[in-house]
A and B are shown apart, each in its own frame.
Chain A
């Protein structure tokens, strides 16, 4: 066991050296360099500033797939105006920090590694559940509103309006898709609108949106744009109608965990407590 103390000491020392010493080259390189380099004039504040020492190791050791998924969730959370300005590395740093805090708290409170691990797991999962819930809600809302929005674009184009202008006009819609389109238009200043839409669709990781943006690109290149747009609107509507039925079927399965947590477990515990308490008291008296 004594060796563990030395090993822990060496590991902590190495971590401190790694975090504090700045090695040349100072400019970050590699796939995640964009994430590590803050935009000019952006000053980290609050939690993000406090957690910034963790960003470097997190970006280095976290699997790319994990970061990509977090990025997609954050994209939808940003659409819902939550977790603004957070990026996937900062968010993962927060999760790691909370996991360590949960583990530490568990050890202090219970001195049992199992409970401490549970505390760490809760700390790691809670931010993801909180942000993931927001992202899921906005993603579903977007999917539900997309077919109707495409109908509006199709209607505009049927009245001999160009695709860009139709997208511009329909962006005034009150829906989440309208809001997203306003964002795309804002980002596409001086760039190609459909290409920007494809970029945003890829960032969102939403298959429906990626599919739509790719098809819009084909329609733009085609000659019979109005007919093609009409077909796209019809197919998106048909897809939605089919998937709505499937989702309704799946809701039952999704509700199993909340039903168990909020109903069945409390139900059983209450019955056991009411019936078992006199027995427990009698046992104590003996």
Chain B
């Protein structure tokens, strides 16, 4: 049990650093996930940097804090697992707990584009209706963005609000091009280009075309989202099997002979490889599903 003392020490240090680490904005919660400021800052950062990933994923953490948390979770996971299953499996669990936050963060960044794609059919419908009713592009974008925000916090609202404000203070086409270039979603980028065409052609004459094209793009996006959701069903067994395995191992470990076999090196190697395979497999299968449609 003495091994718990350094773990408690690590946890205390992490907590201390988290609480006392100077923050630019102390919100105390993750409510301000997608602000206009963050949308503006994102365009100036390298998409591969950890800072960009943290901002895009909506985590109010500094890169150093995130790294510290990863290390702390890895070490703590390893030590806690060591108490129940000493040896190689504990080290593998530590490695997995170190790896998973990074993979989760990457996935969250990618899902920002997917979240936008899921909301785009609604947004396109509202934008087209607003323009048909005679609204100007910045006003319509602002209103659509605000209406989406009323339902739930989402990554599309700040993009629309920022574009609307940029359109009011600088060249309209440039603001739409800026939206297209910083957009994490190809469909949003295409919408920006469509609106660019609308603005260039003077609006009115283009409204009918915009309505037709918008409805087709809407149908494409709805079909894609539906197909992705359907494909995602296949992930259920990937989530269930590891849990079933853990329960079976816990049940079997009540037997003294099986318990002794759990600390044998060959068995530990098998368990460690299985854990790594299942975690790696989960991410591979998930990416296959996301790229399938």
Contact = CB atoms under 8 A, between A and B. Distances in A.
B245 to A, nearest CB: 6
Question: DSSP majority for the A interface?
Answer: helix
Given A174-B186, A258-B288, A277 B209 contact: no
A277 B285 contact: no
In this complex, the interface size class of chain A, counting residues with CB under 8 Å from chain B, is 35 or more
B220 A267 contact: no
A263 B237 contact: yes
Interface in A159-181: 159, 170, 172-176
A278 B257 contact: yes
Nearest to B274: A266
Contacts of B281: 258-259, 261-263
Interface string B245-279: 10011001000011011101011001101100110
Nearest to B270: A273
A173 to B, nearest CB: 6
B122 interface: no
A72 B289 CA distance: 23
- Select the residue from B193, B241, B278, B282 with max chain A CB neighbours within 10 A: B193
Given A258-B284, A258-B285, A267-B245, A237 B216 contact: yes
Interface stretch (A34-42, A63-71, A217-225, A243-251): A243-251
Interface stretch (A53-61, A150-158, A208-216): A150-158
A156 B209 CA distance: 10
A255 B285 contact: yes
Do most interface residues of chain B lie in helix, strand or loop, or is the interface mixed? Answer: helix
A141 B280 CA distance: 23
B17 interface: no
B192 to A, nearest CB: 9
B151 interface: no
Interface in A58-102: none
Nearest to B275: A266
Interface string A228-246: 0010011001001100110
Contacts of A277: 261, 264, 266-267
B187 to A, nearest CB: 6
A262 B278 contact: yes
10 contacts: A156-B197, A159-B205, A172-B193, A175-B190, A244-B223, A248-B227, A252-B233, A263-B242, A266-B273, A273-B266
Interface of A: 137, 140-141, 144-145, 147-149, 151-152, 154-156, 158-159, 170, 172-176, 230, 233-234, 237, 240-241, 244-245, 247-252, 254-255, 258-259, 261-264, 266-267, 269-271, 273-275, 277-278, 281
Given A151-B213, A270-B270, 20 more contacts: A148-B217, A154-B213, A158-B213, A159-B201, A173-B189, A175-B186, A175-B190, A237-B216, A245-B223, A245-B226, A245-B230, A251-B288, A254-B292, A262-B238, A262-B280, A263-B238, A269-B274, A270-B274, A274-B249, A275-B258
